[in-house]
Amino acid sequence: MDVVVIGAGQAGLSAAFHLRRAGLEPDRDFVVLDHSPRAGGAWQFRWPSLTYGKVHGMYALPGMELTGADPTRPSSEVIGAYFDTYERTFDLRVHRPVDVTAVRDGFRDEDGDGARDGDGGRLLVETSEGVYATRALINATGTWDRPFWPRYQGQETFRGRQLHTSGYPGPEAFAGKRVIVVGGGASGTQHLMEIAEVAAATTWVTRREPVFREGPFGEAEGRAAVALVEERVRLGLPPQSVVSVTGLPLNDAIREARASGVLDRLPMFDRITPTGVAWDDGRTVDADVILWATGFRAAIDHLTPLRLREPGGGIRVEGTRAVRDERVHLVGYGPSASTIGANRAGRAAVTDIRRLLARETAAATV
């Protein structure tokens, strides 16, 4: 196999499209592996109240626009159907559900016994449907599978319910409850504004003072925000989300929630008690539910055997290529973790990989 693509969200499908466009055939020259049960990437797991009309910045996949979508339908249904049609239109033949457990270097001596562990020069992709030996890898696993749960003193004593954005069921589940929402990102504010309409009481807690952005957010502002994320990746640090450096757009719904007091923010509490949360200054808030809208981390643990991480904890990349191994490309990682960024990264990765494959073929011929 020339190329293995792990993940069939926006980034993975973009990469597969460009592989197809470059003349590579699915299941002969490349394969796309996805552990989700159906098409749709992480979108298929979004909560029902996130309708397509509420989605910010969904960018079409390369080669096929998303048109005529009903803005009142759940985004999981709209985008899931769009991805499914896309896969079939371009005959991408995604393998699912397939779990990737590890990627190893076929040339590296992992055991210390002096013997090669696989095909020299190839990467060995260990999966639930067998092992693929590949010349190049496009990792497009995103972040949804690694929700970040902060740890606080007393967390295990809380007698109420704790859940993360990844398991958010919609506002109806919180009717009549006292709810603490933790997190200052887009998901946290969306959850909070929904829940406030049905809950007995809501409290918003964030680690940093939220930044609300007024005015237009054009191409120049977008480039500046992406550059900040890209700089961390260049330094080998774990990437931040693009949203973390852009701030929250100040729309009519946000203005109304701020005026009504729903978005009155409290600083981060110091500990969790059996009945709620507490601060060292003596303040307490009782709660039935703590909702952690605290983001996600890159799902890259399966790449651990390749030893790509830098001392700072992240993988240093140039463009999409891992600096420590030119055969590995990360798309949808760091600065490309947006729908438009994922499209561009998919194209860039395939361009680089074609050069690598051509160079290897020429060397083998000589």
**What pLDDT sits at residue 105?**
94
Mean pLDDT by 10 residues, the chain (366 residues): 96 96 96 96 89 79 90 92 96 97 80 45 95 97 92 97 94 97 90 96 92 65 63 72 68 88 95 98 98 93 95 88 95 73 87 91 71
Burial zone of 124 (CB within 10 Å; 0-12 exposed, 13-18 middle, 19+ buried)? buried
- Whole-angstrom distance between the N-terminal and C-terminal Cα of the chain? 21
Closest CA to 19 of 40, 3, 8: 3
* Cα gap 285→271, rounded to integer Å: 11
Question: How do strand 276-278 and strand 284-286 relate by DSSP bridges?
Answer: antiparallel
- Confidence at residue 352, expressed as pLDDT on a 0 to 100 scale: 94
Question: Distance (Å, rounded) from C-alpha 177 to C-alpha 130?
Answer: 47
Measured between alpha carbons, how far is 227 from 133 in angstroms, rounded to an integer? 35
Cβ-contact 340, 62 below 8 angstroms: no
Per-residue model confidence (pLDDT) at position 246:
67
Indicate the pairing of strand 136-139 with strand 325-330.
parallel
| Domains of the chain by start residue, with CATH | 3-145+297-365 (3.50.50.60), 155-211+247-292 (3.50.50.60)
Those residues whose C-beta lies under 8 Å from the C-beta of residue 216, and which sit 6 or more positions away, are none
In degrees and rounded to multiples of 5, residue 74 shows phi and psi of -55, 140
For the chain, how big is the Rg over CA atoms in Å? 22
Taking residue 274's Cβ as centre, other Cβ atoms within 10 Å add up to 11
Phi, psi of 264 (to 5 degrees): -80, 115
Residues 6+ positions from 306 with CB-CB distance below 8 Å: 103, 104, 105, 123, 322, 324, 325, 328
Amino acid at 358: A
For residues 187 and 163, what is the distance between their CA atoms, to the nearest angstrom? 13
Decide if 356 contacts 22 (C-beta within 8 A). Answer: no
What is the pTM (predicted TM-score) of this model? 0.85
